[in-house]
Amino acid sequence: MPRVTGAAATTGEILRLIREEELHTRAELARVTGLSRPVIGQRVNELLEAGLVTESPGVSSGGRPAARLEFNGAGGTVLVASLGHTHGHLAVCDLAGAILHQEPVEVAGGPEAGIGAVLDLWRALERGPVRGVGIAVPGASAEHEPVVAAVAERYPVPVCIDNDVNVMALGEHRLRHDVDDLLFVKASTGIGAGIVSGGRLQRGAYGSAGEIGHIPVPDGLLCGCGTVGCVETVAGGAALLAQLEGRAANLPELAALARAGDLEAVAVLRDAGRRIGEVVAASVNVLNPALVVLGGDLAGKNLIAGVRETVYQRAAAAATRRLRIEPSLLGDDAGLLGCATMILDHILSPRAVDTALRAAPSPQDPTPVP
Amino acid sequence: MPRVTGAAATTGEILRLIREEELHTRAELARVTGLSRPVIGQRVNELLEAGLVTESPGVSSGGRPAARLEFNGAGGTVLVASLGHTHGHLAVCDLAGAILHQEPVEVAGGPEAGIGAVLDLWRALERGPVRGVGIAVPGASAEHEPVVAAVAERYPVPVCIDNDVNVMALGEHRLRHDVDDLLFVKASTGIGAGIVSGGRLQRGAYGSAGEIGHIPVPDGLLCGCGTVGCVETVAGGAALLAQLEGRAANLPELAALARAGDLEAVAVLRDAGRRIGEVVAASVNVLNPALVVLGGDLAGKNLIAGVRETVYQRAAAAATRRLRIEPSLLGDDAGLLGCATMILDHILSPRAVDTALRAAPSPQDPTPVP
DNA sequence: GGACTTAAGTAGGTAAAATTACAAAAGTCA
DNA sequence: TGACTTTTGTAATTTTACCTACTTAAGTCC
C-alpha cells in the first residue's frame, strides 16, 4: 500500500500525530499515515521506551480494544522564567506545558544581573529530568545573549529566549491552533504586540516586529521616545494611573477598581482601549489576522470594548469582516505558559525528537529527549 | 561518512542547490550535501535527462576539470499575464524568468471576461513546452477562481494566481534573496503593499494582508470606502491628477512631467510620498522589515524622497535604524516578472521537481517538469 | 460457549537507497 | 613523457526501510 502523507512519517512525526492530531491508537496511526502496522508498532515502541508516550487500556469497538496512546506529559520537565526589569516569575512545567510549581523572583538590575538568582531557585525546584529552558525578557531578546550563556553553562539542554509579548503570542497560538494568523496585544505598563502569521511567529528583520507602543495616535502627549503621542504614552499603564490621580497605586488595583464598577476607572480603561484600537486597526489593516487577542494587566472587558469600538470603525472592511477580538485565555500566567510553549515546541518538534532518539535510544540516559 | 544537511538531498533539492546556492559541479554538491559521489552523479543525470540542467566544460584546478552544471533556463517556458480592470500585459518567459516575448492585451470587463483573449494571445506566442502559468489580478485573488478554471482547461499544468502587489513583492524578493523581510509598496492609481516576512509571502487570514490603501492618514477627503482620509484618496493617482488640474492626462504623463523638472508635479509627488509615508511608517513599526521597496507608476525619486522623509521621522527608531527604502529593481515589467517568479518558485520547488521526475522520467514526455 | 471482529506482535522477505572499492578520464606540472 | 591531482563513472555490497503473511490477543454478540 503506498504512502498517503507527503512528509515521511518518522518517529518524531508519529509523536506529533499523537500529541497534536488526536490520534491515539496504533491502528489509527497506520490508517492515517498509510504505513503498515508493524512499522507503526516499532515506532510507537521507541516512543514508549523513551518515556514520551504512555499506553493504557482502551474500550472495544466490537473487537479487541485498541491500547490508548497518550503523550506523556510527565516524561520530563522544562524550566521557565518570565522576567521583567526588576522582578519576575519562574516555574517548573511538565512536558504538557502545565505549571508544576512557580515562584516569584527578584531580579534587581534586569535579567542579566538577576539570572544567578533564577538559576538558584530553579535548582531548588527541579524535579525529574530537565529537557529544556524557556525565558521571556522585556524588549529585544537579542540583547540577552549573556543570559542564554549563563543558563547553557548549567543546563546542557536547549535554551529558548524571546521577548515577553512574542512568547505570549506563542502560548495563545497553542490554545487556538486552528488560527494561523493572530495578533496578540499586551496592554500593561507598556504596550506591545506579538505577531503570528502563516502559523509562524514573526520577529521581523531585527527582532522588533510588533513593537507598536511607539506608533503615534492622533492627539497626544510627549513620549520619552521623542515622538508626540505614542500610544504607550497616552494609553500605557503609567498614563492611566496618572489620570486616576492616586486612586490606584498600580495596575492590578486599577483593574480591580474597574471590576468593582468604579465609573472613572471604567472610563479611563475604555478610553485607553480606543487609543490602542487606533494602532490595532492599523496593524489589522496591514496583517489581516483572523483574531486579535488582548492580554496584560489592563485587558479587561472595558479596554477590550474600547479596542473593538475603534477597530471595527477604523480598519478596512476587508480586514474586519471576519475578525474576532477576544481576551487572552492564558490569564495571569501568560508569560510562564508562553515560555513553556516556546521551549516545548522546540524540543518536541519531529526533527528534535528524531535527532534525540537517534543519539540516545535508552530511557535512562541523562538527556534522552533533546 | 554521515550526512551533513538536515533535509534529505533529493533530486529536486540538488536542482535547488545548483539554481540558488551557486553549486556548479558534482564534487561540490557531494561535499556540501555529504552524499557520496555516485549518488550525486545519478541525481545529476536525472536532471540532465529531464533537460533541467546543462553541462559544459569547466576549468581545471590542478586535476581533471569539473564539468560545470547550470540550471537550464531554456528547458521550457511559462506563460504569464498581469491583468488590470480594462487592460494588461502578457508574456512568455523561459525557466530562468526572462521575458522572451510580451504583448499588451485588452480585457474589457476585467480578468474574467477577458481571459479568452489572453488564452488566444498566449497560444499564438507559445514556443517550447509550457510548464506553468502565472497570473496577477487586481484585488483579492480568491475572487478569480473562474480565471484559473479557464486556464486549467486549456493548459494541464500548475496555474498560480495572486494579487498584483503580492506578485511584485515575490519578484522583488527573488532579486534580493538575502532579504527575508521586505515590504513592497505599489503607488499607482491604487496604493497597496505586498509583505514578505520570514522569507514567505504573507497573505493574512483572508487574503487581504497588505491592503494599506484604506488606512486613514491625518487630514483628508472622503474616500469611496466610507472612511475619511484614506491614503489612496489623498495620495492615489486620481487625486494627484486632480491636483494638477488637467496638466497630465494619466500617470505616465505625470511621472514624465516630474522627470522633466516641472515644479508643480514634483511638489505633488513629494507630498503624496509624505502621505504614503504615514502608512508605511505604521507598517514598518508593525513588521520591522529590512527593506521597503517602492514600485508602481508614481514611484520616482520625488515620491520616494517624501516617503523617506516621513518614515524616518515617524517610525520608531528600533524599526528604522537599519531600514532601507529603495525603488523597485523590476521596472515596467514588474507585474510580468513577478508572475514568472511566482509560478517558477512553484514548479521548480524541490517537492514539485521530485514529484514530476517520479511521474515522468523521460524528456520527451509532454509535461515532464510539473 | 463458540463465531466473529478488531488490534497488535513476529518472522521473513523485498526493493530501494546509499555506501565502499575500484577504475578510468582529463587535466597540470616538472 | 610521466608523475600527480582532481573529477567522474561502474560494480558489488551493505544498509535501511519498508511490506506481506501469519499468529496471538482480547474483546463483543448470539
Summarised one tens digit per residue, pLDDT across range B18-30 is 999 999 999 999 9
Q: Estimate in Å the CA A42 to C1' C7 gap, whole number.
A: 15
Number of helices (H) and strands (E), helices first, in chain A? 14, 12
Choose, out of A208, A230, A291, A312, the residue to mutate when testing the contact with B (most B CBs < 10 Å): A208
Interstrand relation of A130-137 and A159-163 (parallel, antiparallel or unpaired): parallel
Q: Which nucleotide has the shortest C1'-to-CA distance from A28?
A: C7
φ, ψ dihedrals at B90, nearest 5°: -135, 165
Q: Are strands A77-83 and A87-94 parallel, antiparallel or unpaired?
A: antiparallel
Which residues of B are less than 8 Å from A286 in CB distance?
Answer: 193, 195, 209-210, 212, 215, 282-283, 286-287
Q: Quickly state the pLDDT bin for B115 (edges 50, 70, 90).
A: very high
Query: Angle at CA A44, nearest 5°, toward A43 and A49?
Result: 100
Listed by range, residues with Cβ under 7 angstroms from strand C are A 25-27, 37-38, 41, 44-45, 58, 61-67; B 1, 3, 8-9, 34-39, 57, 60, 62-65
Is the model's pLDDT at B314 over the cut of 90?
Answer: no
Distances A224 to A137, A206, A272, B316 between C-alpha atoms, Å: 21, 22, 18, 12
Task: State the average pLDDT for chain B.
Answer: 90
In the predicted model, is pLDDT for residue B224 greater than 70? no
CA dist., res. A318 & res. A31, Å (int): 40
Dist. CA A319–CA A289, nearest whole Å = 8
Q: How far is CA B362 from CA B49, B113, B131, in A?
A: 7, 38, 15
The amino acid that residue B238 corresponds to is A
Average pLDDT over residues B212-218: 79
Half-sphere exposure of B300 (CA within 13 A, CB side): 22
Distance CA A270, CA A276 (A): 10
**CB–CB of A225 and B316 under 8 A?**
yes
User: Can you read off the three cell numbers belonging to residue B360?
Assistant: 515522468
Query: Mean pLDDT over residues B175-186, rounded?
Result: 96
What is the rounded CA–CA span in Å between residue A237 and residue A250? 8
- For the whole model, what pTM was predicted? 0.90
Q: Pick from B96, B84, B160: which is nearest to B128 by CA?
A: B96
pLDDT of B227 reads 61
Q: What value does the mean pLDDT take over residues B250-278?
A: 95
* Nucleotide showing the shortest C1' distance to residue B37 CA: D8
CA distance linking residue A167 with residue A341, whole number of Å: 8
Q: What is the rounded average pLDDT of the residues B86-94?
A: 95
* pLDDT tens-digit series, residues A3-37: 334 457 899 999 999 999 999 999 999 999 999 99
Q: What is the CA radius of gyration of chain A?
A: 23
The label of the residue with cell 586535476 reads: B63
List phi, psi (to 5°) of A324: -110, 145
For A295-311, the DSSP string reads ESTT-SHHHHHHHHHHH
Report the pLDDT value the prediction gives residue B316, as an integer from 0 to 100.
Answer: 87
B88 or B360, higher pLDDT: B88
Provide the number of CB pairs (under 8 Å) joining chain A to chain B. 144
**Beta-carbon separation of A225 and B317 below 8 A:** yes
Option in B197, B211, B225 nearest A197 (CB): B197
Q: Are B265 and B303 in contact (CB under 8 A)?
A: no
Residue A160, Cβ neighbours under 10 Å: how many?
Answer: 23
Residue in chain A nearest B228 by alpha carbon: A314
Bridging pattern class, strands B77-83 and A130-137:
unpaired
How many angstroms is C1' of C6 away from CA of A156? Answer: 45
For B300-315, letters b (16+ CB in 10 Å) and e give bebbbbbbbebbeebb
Q: What is the pLDDT along chain A (370 residues), one digit of tens a residue?
A: 333 344 578 999 999 999 999 999 999 999 999 999 999 999 999 999 999 999 999 898 888 999 999 999 999 999 999 999 889 999 999 999 999 999 999 998 888 889 999 999 999 999 889 999 999 998 877 778 899 999 999 999 999 999 999 999 999 999 998 999 999 999 999 999 999 999 999 999 999 999 998 877 765 554 555 566 688 888 999 999 999 998 999 999 999 999 999 999 999 999 999 999 999 998 999 999 999 999 999 999 999 999 999 999 988 888 999 999 999 999 889 999 999 999 999 999 999 999 999 876 544 433 333 3
Q: Is the pLDDT of residue B5 over 50?
A: no
pLDDT of residue A228: 61
Residues 6+ apart with CB under 8 A from B287: A195, A202, A204, A209, A286, B181, B183, B195, B197
**What average pLDDT score do residues B174-191 get?**
95
**CA(A223)–C1'(C10) in Å?**
73
pLDDT at B365: 39
**A305-356 pLDDT per residue, tens:** 999 999 999 888 889 999 999 999 998 899 999 999 999 999 999 999 999 9
pLDDT in tens, B343-356: 999 999 999 999 99
